[in-house]
Amino acid sequence: MSVELSFDEAKQRVSELRELLDRYSHEYYVLDQPTIPDSEYDQLYRELVELEEAYPELVSADSPTQRVGGTILEGFEKVTHETPMLSLDNAFNQEELYAFDQRIKRLTDAPFRYTCELKIDGLAMSLRYEDGRLVQAATRGDGQTGENVTNNVRTIKPIPLRLKEPLTVEVRGEVYMPKESFLALNAEREEEGLAVFANPRNAAAGTLRNLDPAVTAKRNLNFYLYTLMQAGNYGVSSQSEALETMNEWGLRVNPDRRTFDNIEDVWAFIEEYQEKRDSLPYEIDGIVIKVDEFAVQEEVGYTVRAPRWAIAYKFPAEEGRTIVRDIEWSVGRTGVVTPTAIMDPVQLAGTTVQRATLHNEDLLRQKDVRLLDTVIVRKAGDIIPEVVRVDFDARSEDSEPYPIPENCPACGSELVHLEEEVALRCMNPQCPAQAVERVIHFVSRNAMNIDGLGEKIIQQLYEKGFVSNAADLYALTYDQMIQLDKIADKSARNLLGAIDASRTNSLERLLFGLGIRHVGAKAARLLAERFETMDQLKAATQEEIQSIEGIGEIIAESVIAFFDLPEAQELIDRLASQGVNMSYTGPKRSQAEQMDSIFNGKTVVLTGKLESFTRPALKELIEQRGGKVTGSVSKKTDLVIAGEEAGSKLTKAQELNVTVWNEDELTNSLNREETIE
């Protein structure tokens, strides 16, 4: 259409169109009861787009046209949850479920019911609305602090940008990827030569944390709500009533929920959905059972990490039968050679599985897996499939034990079974398989974090002779990158930009990326903080390295052995010559400053809500001053810092006569230390 309306007429029509589109979207995504054909919806949507293009001043954040994303984010800011997003305790069988019921009955004499909801395998999310408009979406994170993913969540169509009423409210639920969307996404990624996602939950997490909201918009995430915060403010007194109320507000809640008077009916519901789970359009891994009445919930209370009035019944790990056709051996970056069973396709946890890990030679022998064996495979918790056991009754009489390889499948060198290890190992430092895996590790998230440089690209770079070790990455040219399959102009420039940006990473990332045996991300951080530069670390003695709290003899020996290797020295020299940073640039206090701190050498426990600090920030601050932060109070605890609503940790500290500070005492102590410095 051509816009021929005046501003006032356009303003009125925009309001009408938004109301219509919100209603039709709610009918389609929430109620699953569309009342108009897609073509009519599309026509109304196009009309709204044209009006907003003609009158840009009419565009608002809650318009249906603003769901498509667009601005690429630089990162996610942290969000502190006013009320922590707690975990749930688990039950794995009927006996544990009935024990939960008995605990509730011991804690209250009041009558109560149970509300049962499907436990969707997704990501917990908090949504905050002000005057009916979505203003913030935050991930659960560690329960205390999450990430602000509002721009991405705005692109999820089932989540309303505006409620039916101008309410200020926080609600919580689960973001997930439907099975159909997951299969389509993986098919698309396979065609593009990209790594596929292991399961719908990982796909949803990767989508939600993508820095480009346009990517989120394309991947068809969905959402179910299950928690109404401060429910009493809205006249709601039970979980079942809260779910119905949120539904009335235009928020999506799962219709597959029931409320029961007794635990026997709860068990019947669990059995019903254990049978139905494969037919659902999304993955579930259990049932969540909650005391329905909020007053009884408050009476029953909480433990440190979870509510006592709720439990998650986890379905047993799904298993399947199949036949082993081959055993494939692969070489990791440290030379470890691991076996993988290649099997007839079998359906597990909603996906087709043809490969299952056998972990190592000892386990292969212990389980006695042979070619043509019928095996039971499992995919517990949607992690890597594994062979659980062999059906020996189905084994052929002429079956023979599987021969363990004596030579590396990648380079042909003789394999070694070191006395202290269960793994076979290729000791050849020039082994091509190890070279590729070492570079893959070097670019990984916790190492140099070079975005976009995945396994298939690195494999191509190696095969073309462009990269044989990590230092070669920094010498790559545009002409080389453009030769790779499915790498066009923009992708090549983005990859080179990501490689260049990684030069400035702090030393601990480089140390972890080098793949020094036994040196994980935490040990790399301790080493970088203590020695500050690569040269100082290289010159350190084993005794000096071992003197760092958290660094033991094995790590110290490994570090010394690594820097003694001529190949390691050459690699580090080449990285330095390519402009890769060799210094620690993170926060650090000297040992002298730590000695002056009251926290130095102290074991500290944090509990309750703090006004002036987030828990991660305070933990880091204490550790910088030589303290150690632990999660539980014991006789070894020196200090407990207690904020508002401190619970059992404070009680235990008082029982053990452990020193307790409130936030004012903490702040005064820190201020005194700053004055001394």
- Write out the catalytic residue numbers: 119
CA distances from 401 to 195, 366, 369, 395, 406 (A): 34, 11, 8, 12, 15
Token pair of 233 as six digits:
């403010």
Determine the straight-line distance between the first and last CA of the chain, rounded to whole angstroms: 70
Q: How many C-beta atoms surround the C-beta of residue 22 within 10 A?
A: 19
Separation CA 63–CA 621 (nearest Å): 43
Identify which of 672, 599, 610 has the alpha carbon closest to the alpha carbon of residue 639: 599
Tokens of 326: 């081959």
What residues does 338 pair with on adjacent strands?
330
Q: Facing residues of 378 across strands?
A: 319, 386
256 φψ region: left (φ > 0), alpha (ψ -120 to 50), beta (else): beta
Distances (CA, A) of 102 to 96, 105, 106, 262: 10, 5, 6, 11
How far is residue 298's CA from residue 288's CA, in Å, rounded to a whole number? 18
The structure tokens listed for 378 are: 């499992």
CA geometry: angle at 180 spanning 177 and 186, to 5°? 80
Query: Cα(477)–Cα(486) distance, rounded to whole angstroms?
Result: 16
User: What is the enclosing helix (H) or strand (E) of 629?
Assistant: strand 628-630
In which order are the strands placed within the sheet that holds 603-607? 628-630, 603-607, 639-642, 659-661
Helix and strand tally (H, E) in the chain?
Answer: 26, 22
| Residue 56: Cβ-neighbour burial (10 angstroms; 0-12, 13-18, 19+) | exposed
DSSP state of 402: P
- Per-residue buried b or exposed e for 565-592, using 16+ beta carbons within 10 Å of the residue's own CB: eeebeebbebbeeeebbbebeeeebeee
Residue 377 identity (one-letter amino acid)? V
C-alpha to C-alpha distance for 53 and 9, rounded to whole angstroms: 15
- What the block records as the tokens of 290 is 């909650």
Q: Which pair of structure tokens corresponds to residue 384?
A: 């890597």
